[in-house]
Structure 1
């Protein structure tokens, strides 16, 4: 029971029908260390180019990450069944509404849940967040994500600055300092 509670606090395992959770992307990287919130900051991929991935919304509209250069970009992988993911939504919405950075929230919910993602965001005050879907888990595979939420930050030129595995207080001073990095 204690392990279950700890897992819920630290982050959400990918909903995978009982498969073992893969290791976190930065678990062994020297630059990766949990912060006070239990999230691991990983700078080991700094400078990597933004991969060209395509996501869809429930109506079939597409967005390709390659088209998002020109403004800092925070990609957040989340799911409706993930408690720490849900806790981040209000602060991510505020960041998105501020307009300084582009916040791309990409749901890792299954195909059967795609219709409820937009309503889920709206009900939780996510008016500035776009309901992008990745039911096949392409993004999680690309970034080697085993725990949700996961956030990857890119500069305006499309180069990775850092990534965080686990929940983050996006309204705090530490997050503001991280988001000021290039």
Structure 2
């Protein structure tokens, strides 16, 4: 019996499987690279350069961080956050770029985070007073699981001005952690109308204060 002849189909199958595996691996690497933002994106380079040029503006905003918001640190250097991904109040995926044109105070919070719960009423009051087409408090809930628990909490404490932004994957928090912007919750980012980070802080603050409003106006003034 010619064992070589018998083994040829099996050999072909093994070779075909190996080739398929190589191709699948290449595709996976390509997909992962695209998801990680490692593909060529000329617009991303332009955005990064534009943000890095705002060091003076970030420094000025940092200098305005006093009193109740003294923990806010100037971005060093400012960086583009336009590609940060989360869900809008309708549950649809968006990036921060969707809010282009307005200064954003982004706050990541969770129902299991006691300091987060404590500062939500002040964030809601800040949005009620200052929220307009040029400014928004974007409070992004990062509880895993369904929307039921965070929505129930917001309803129980009477939150009426904040819109319900959401990311139940922890992807947003992990992205900020990768960028050395998040150590825990809450984490708050002050972002200009072009999606550039101007200042950031970890931990809670009293947001419905003159100190906070002065800080936000300093960021908005830089957009003029």
Give the TM-score normalised by the residue count of structure 1: 0.71
Instruction: State which of 166, 170, 185 in structure 2 corresponds to 1:137.
Output: 170
Counterpart in the other structure of 1:152:
189
Instruction: Specify the alignment match of 2:80 in structure 1.
Output: 49
Larger Rg: 2
Deviation string, structure 1 residues 39-82 (Cα, Å, up to 9, x no partner): 73221345311231332368633332111011110110000011
What is residue 168 of structure 1 aligned with on the other side?
A: 205
Structure 1: unaligned runs, 5 residues or longer: 1-30
Give me the CA root mean square deviation: 2.6
Q: Answer 1 or 2: higher relative contact order, Cα 8 Å, separation at least 6.
A: 1
Give the helix-richer structure, 1 or 2: 2
The CA deviation at 1:135 is 1.9
Runs of 4+ in 1 over 4 A off after TM superposition: 35-39
- Matched position secondary structure for 1:141: helix
CA-to-aligned-CA distance 1:117-164 (integer Å, 9 cap, x gap): 122112212111122221221221222212111110111222111011
Q: Of residues 82, 94, 105 in structure 1, which corresponds to 2:139?
A: 105
Q: Give unpaired runs (5+ residues) of structure 2.
A: 1-61, 220-224
What SS is found at the alignment partner of 2:147? helix
Answer whether contact 1:46 1:159 (CA < 8 A) is retained: no
Q: How many residues align?
A: 149
Cα 1:81–1:36 change in 2 (3 A) is: farther
Question: What's the counterpart of residue 47 of structure 2?
Answer: none
